[in-house]
Amino acid sequence: MTIELPVEQPFLPTREHARFVEFAEACSRYRYIGVCHGRPGVGKTRSAREFASFPDLRGYGACNVIGPTLAEKVARCKAIFYTAGVSNTPKTIDAGLCVNVTKLGYARLTVAAGSPEGVDIDQAQLACPLVIVDEADRLSIKSLEELRDLSDRYRFGLVLMGMPGLEKRLARYAQFYSRIGFVHEFKPLSEAEMRLLLATHAADFGIGFDPAQLDAIEAEAAVIRITRGNFRLMERLFAQMRRIMSLNRVEEVTADIVQAARDCLVIGPGN
Ligand SMILES: Nc1ncnc2c1ncn2[C@@H]1O[C@H](COP(=O)(O)OP(=O)(O)OP(=O)(O)O)[C@@H](O)[C@H]1O
Ligand SMILES: [Mg+2]
């Protein structure tokens, strides 16, 4: 029996990702709290995970010797990436984060020193520069308080990621709000960047648009109009287009195929 696991499209380095990196690095450097908001499907989570490069530390125990593969991952890691659970409480936040803050701190100091000898727990707990919390809209006031307390204690920068309106919701909690240093809007791809990505990464989308064919130019314009730079919509639209093209044994893409694919999708106002 073969079991197919979902495969992720390769990461595309977009301008919005570069803007996010700059924002997250500022939160890390100044150890501030930052809020990043954006509409569903624009690529917040993927960008944050790519930036954080948070390694799997489940098999690592503080004070362990670190092998070269993990050492390389730890050296590349810029943040802990944590997804707030649907039913979060201060206890679950504490359990999910504290261990990783300590482990990552230990691992970073160990890699920097070349050996776990003499790594101090107090120093290790201050050696995690940034924690990114995804789905922060789910956080209750008590969980936010817990995060604020942890970030004060361990002095890590904190990035909260969520939907537009998150920053306004946080304004109600004065102590939390007063620590927010940066607010960042994660935007959809611009039209020019979509054209560039479709031209340079056609293989990743599984469909190419020949710039010398009128049908392909019209199809590309239709993709841009329908998806408005939203990554998730692009993925869903391209999947339908590939399906329709293979069912009909068509090789060349046209605006009609894009429209037929669009008619199969549910596109809500939030997209
Ligand atoms: N730079 C990128 N390169 C390749 N694929 C991307 C990129 N950004 C996003 N994607 C893909 O687009 C889809 C939506 O992205 P993601 O889940 O990050 O959106 P989101 O903004 O976090 O949405 P939500 O608000 O619903 O959580 C995912 O399948 C993701 O893999
Ligand atoms: Mg997300």
Copy the structure tokens of residue 41.
């499907």
- Across 156-170, b (16+ Cβ under 10 Å) vs e yields bbbbbbbeeebbebb
Q: What is the CATH number of the domain that holds 141?
A: 3.40.50
Tokens 């789905």, residue located: 135
Give me ligand 2 centre to Cα 163, in Å.
9
Domain match, 195 and 155 both: no
Over the chain, what is the mean pLDDT?
93
The residue among 185, 216, 239 that closes a domain is 185
Taking the alpha carbons of 141, 91, 154, 23 in that order, is the dihedral positive or negative?
Answer: negative
pTM: 0.94
Tell me: the pLDDT tens digits for 132-177?
Answer: 999 999 999 999 999 999 999 999 999 999 999 999 999 998 888 9
User: What pLDDT is recorded for position 269?
Assistant: 64
For 168-202, the DSSP string reads HHHTT-HHHHTTEEEEEE-PPPPHHHHHHHHHH-H
Instruction: Domain count for the chain, please give it.
Output: 2
Confidence of residue 63 (pLDDT cuts 50, 70, 90): confident
The residue among 185, 220, 252 that closes a domain is 185
Helices (H), 36-173: 44-52, 68-76, 90-113, 121-124, 141-154, 166-170
Least distant ligand from the CA of 134: 2
Tell me: the pLDDT tens digits for 4-53?
Answer: 888 888 999 999 999 999 999 999 999 999 999 999 999 999 999 999 99
Tell me: the pLDDT tens digits for 188-206?
Answer: 999 999 999 999 998 888 8
Q: In whole angstroms, what is the distance from residue 247 CA to residue 265 CA?
A: 17
User: What pLDDT is recorded for position 7?
Assistant: 83
Look up the domain containing 62 and give its range: 15-185
Share of the chain above pLDDT 90, in %: 82
Give me ligand 1 centre to Cα 122, in Å.
37
Q: What is the CATH number of the domain that holds 229?
A: 1.10.8
Do the Cβ atoms of 36 and 44 come closer than 8 Å? yes
Confidence of residue 270 (pLDDT cuts 50, 70, 90): low
Identify residue 162 by its one-letter amino acid code. Answer: G
Sheet holding 157-162, edge to edge: 80-83, 130-134, 157-162, 33-37, 180-185
Tell me: the pLDDT tens digits for 70-92?
Answer: 999 999 999 999 999 999 999 99
Domain match, 233 and 112 both: no
Domain match, 42 and 103 both: yes
Copy the structure tokens of residue 17.
């990702």
Give me ligand 1 centre to Cα 133, in Å.
16
CA distances from 226 to 156, 230, 234, 243 (A): 40, 9, 9, 18
Domain match, 174 and 198 both: no
Pocket of ligand 1 (CB under 6 A): 8-9, 11-12, 14, 17, 38, 40-46, 231-232, 235
